[in-house]
Amino acid sequence: MKNLIIASTSTVFGLGYLEYLLPTLENHFKNVETIVFIPYARPNGISHDEYTEKVTEAFSKIDKKIIGLHTFENPAEAITKAQGIFTGGGNTFLLVKQLHQTGVMTALKNTLLKGIPYLGCSAGSNITGLTMETTNDMPIVYPPSFQTLGMVPFNINPHYLDPIEGSTHMGETRETRINEFHAFNTQPVLGLREGSWLEVRGAKITLKGTLTARLFRQNQKPIELESESDLSNLS
């Protein structure tokens, strides 16, 4: 039975790291003492140790202990023995490359299917979809595969941004990029706005937070999904 929180972002405007999610996380990890943190995405190029310290400080507010996956001699084995798991944001290409190279991707998928509670933010949410191909990140490294965990039957676009009315920016919008993806791929893409998350309990997938999410399907007009929408049958 899958047991996941898939969040668009770790931080919303005006609040500290993970602060907006802490009440949800306290319940999500209620039976967990120690959480294994996967720091591979390294936002802003920070070290694994620095990233783990930041996460440790946030989770101390709900009395959870954090251990960085990079400190284990056998990271894949550590994942199989974890009480709870958190994958933080950063660069999805870097994250996916290391997950595949260390054997953690397969171990993580098998572990999550057993019901171990998981939190993903941003890049850590990208990897819960079918592939990482709808990430917003630059390809700073070359992963051996774009395949990811497939915990939900669609792709995710975290930090989804709507076009700004009156903007003079001439670059592609997020919607344009997703349409480009759909020129070659059939799976749906869920645009998760900051402050929104998915709650996955077994086969049930529910949109949480106060905002709508934008759903894109190949050759169809995008639609808005209200908070508490059931996405379980989305494919």
Burial of 6 (0-12, 13-18, 19+ CB in 10 A): buried
What confidence score (pLDDT) does residue 170 get? 63
For residue 164, is it within any domain?
Answer: yes
Domain membership of residue 84 as a residue range:
3-225
The domain tally of the chain equals: 1
Residue type, 106: T
Is the pLDDT reported for residue 7 higher than 90? yes
What angle separates helix 104-112 from helix 92-101, to the nearest 10 degrees? 90
Active-site residue among 8, 28, 70, 137? Answer: 137
Residues 6+ apart with CB under 8 A from 194: 8, 9, 12, 13, 159
For residue 234, is it within any domain?
Answer: no
Active-site residue among 48, 100, 159, 232? Answer: 159
- For residue 230, the 8-state DSSP code is B
For residue 219, is it within any domain?
Answer: yes
In this prediction, residues 207-211 reach a mean pLDDT of 96
How far apart are alpha carbons 126 and 158 in whole angstroms? 7
For residue 23, is it within any domain?
Answer: yes
- For residue 62, the 8-state DSSP code is G
For residue 231, is it within any domain?
Answer: no
Is residue 172 very low, low, confident or very high in pLDDT (cuts 50, 70, 90)? confident
Residue 162 annotated among the catalytic residues of the structure: no
Residue 100 annotated among the catalytic residues of the structure: no
Is the pLDDT reported for residue 151 higher than 90? yes
- For residue 83, the 8-state DSSP code is S
Is the pLDDT reported for residue 138 higher than 80? yes
For residue 232, is it within any domain?
Answer: no
Residue 159 annotated among the catalytic residues of the structure: yes
Is residue 136 very low, low, confident or very high in pLDDT (cuts 50, 70, 90)? very high
In this prediction, residues 119-145 reach a mean pLDDT of 97
Q: What is the CATH number of the domain that holds 209?
A: 3.40.50.880
Active-site residue among 122, 125, 182, 196? Answer: 122
For residue 20, is it within any domain?
Answer: yes
- Report the DSSP pairing between strands 65-68 and 3-7: unpaired
In this prediction, residues 28-38 reach a mean pLDDT of 98
For residue 230, is it within any domain?
Answer: no
Is residue 103 very low, low, confident or very high in pLDDT (cuts 50, 70, 90)? very high
